[in-house]
Structure 1
């Protein structure tokens, strides 16, 4: 098992149980205690868990905590891939779309680089980079400008002003969390402003949110749950949440990660 695979498995265990012991992990993966400690240090440096004596525990961030793009990109990778594949099916050649910042939208970008005559507006540096690297002459990519956040989003009045002049067919919105009370949320106040501007510019709102986003509440609400036309999530979402969302969102799509 590669170190990256082992660390992903360790992170899954921490999230499922709330904590792990070095000795137990070493026995499970047939490696030394020192190897496991190095794995835990690597995960802790990315903000994915908290090291404690003899092991590690989950991190309990506040509503204003914003993990970096790299830290978020290793989470729920299978779920994000399945969500992105389903979302890509909604896009047609010649569409003018927006992709907000986020690791799921970056995954979606990878699946849109071959769509002809696409116009893409984004405030995400990683999303824009996907299209720039593809270099298709028939695609137009608009990066909003603005101030950079820890998650590589561009925010602030420059971004909001740029978006305010646009009219888009569809917005694919990645979110930090969602709940019945707070709606779709983000831990960054200025990013919420940009996201709301994107919502207003688009005819149709498609929210991309894996099951771990349910019950997570960032400091700033973007829009209520009912504002989305489509919500794409995965089958890890519990039945109670599915029932509530199916009654609130016009179209709830639940994908099955492979």
Structure 2
């Protein structure tokens, strides 16, 4: 296969799925890791894709454009891991915690598998699957039901009705974007409604958002910055964002992905 044909195949895959991993492209196209990375560089220079850690995503994102779970899963992986570890340290045994849909909360779910006697409420198919595969007998998992979105969230009247009857200690909320004016936002109107119900059901709101979420504004607001008791982000968060969040949110926790990587390597 010629380079031009290979790059076209990569572009079509990224546009079709919203993202592509280098490892998957190497296997499917039968070329080296370095060759795929060069192809991604060429496509990125032409503005056809966006290079991210471990792969590439489709370009462009309006206020109503909603990336799929696969597309988001390859973005800011080290940052999400660091944020998830810090969030997990806030969860105590024997408590109830709600996890919204998203790849950061999905990462967090893996770190909660060892927390005993935990009750988990979620509207995420992917998050529920993490706990289902673990099968820990002293953990209770409640999946809300609802209409499935591209990001594998369950939303709409069924989800809202289920959440409305619940009370949880803590909500771990993943968001599409955040800024000082719009607060925490999502590109999906039904998901915003469902997430707002989760916010109302929780005694404490903890928002998990890596630095790239600052300045991104989805069409619908889930919560204002001041509604968050804790916001967990990473060292890439710009100073103006830190100032706004420190001023309006209850507490801002900054994580360092490089420190997390060192812990994993030991």
TMscore range, shorter length: 0.7 to 0.9
Corresponding position of 2:134? 134
Distance across 1 between alignment mates of 2:46 and 2:212? 27
- Separation in structure 2 between the aligned mates of residue 38 and residue 70 of structure 1, nearest angstrom: 18
Q: 1:34 to 1:113 in 2, by over 3 A?
A: same
Measure how far apart 1:34 and its partner are.
5.1
After superposition, the Cα gap between the structure-2 partners of 1:42 and 1:97, relative to the gap in structure 1 and judged at 3 Å, is same
**1:38-57 alignment, distance < 5 Å:** 38-48=9-19, 56-57=48-49
Deviation for aligned residue 1:239: 1.0
Which residue matches 2:54? none
Q: Per the alignment, in what secondary structure is the counterpart of residue 45 of structure 1? A: helix
Q: Deviations over 1:56-115 (max 9, x none)?
A: 255222111111111110000010000000000001110101000000000000000111
In the TM superposition, residue 37 of structure 1 has moved relative to its aligned partner by: 4.6
In the other structure, the counterpart of 2:174 is 174
1:240 positional shift: 1.3
CA distance in 1, matches of 2:121, 2:166: 9
Q: Which runs of 5+ in 1 are unaligned?
A: 1-30
2 CA distance for matches of 1:86 and 1:120?
A: 18
1:78: which partner in 2? 78
Q: State the shift of 1:44 in Å.
A: 3.0
> Which residue in the other structure is 2:248 paired with?
248
Residues 251 and 160 of structure 1: is their aligned pair in 2 closer, same or farther, counting only changes over 3 Å? Answer: same
| Per-residue deviation, residues 104-152 of structure 1 (Å, max 9, x unmatched) | 0000000001110000000000000000000011000000011111111
2:228 equivalent to 1:228: yes
Q: 1:121 to 1:37 in 2, by over 3 A?
A: same
2:19–2:74: 8 Å Cα contact kept in structure 1? no
TM-score by length of 2: 0.81
**What is the Cα deviation at residue 54 of structure 1?**
6.0
TM-score (norm 1): 0.83
Residue matched to 1:201? 201
Alpha-carbon displacement from aligned partner over 1:223-258 (angstroms, at most 9, x marks no partner): 101100000001111111111111111110010112
Gaps of 5+ in 2: 21-39, 51-58, 259-266
In structure 2, the CA distance between the partners of 1:32 and 1:137, relative to structure 1 (3 Å rule), is same
Task: Report the Cα distance in structure 2 between the residues aligned to 1:193 and 1:124, rounded to whole angstroms.
Answer: 15
Instruction: Measure, in 2, the Cα distance between the counterparts of 1:114 and 1:54.
Output: 45
Aligned counterpart, 1:237 = 237
Cα displacement string for residues 191-223 of structure 1 (whole angstroms, at most 9, x for unaligned residues): 111101111110000000001100101010011
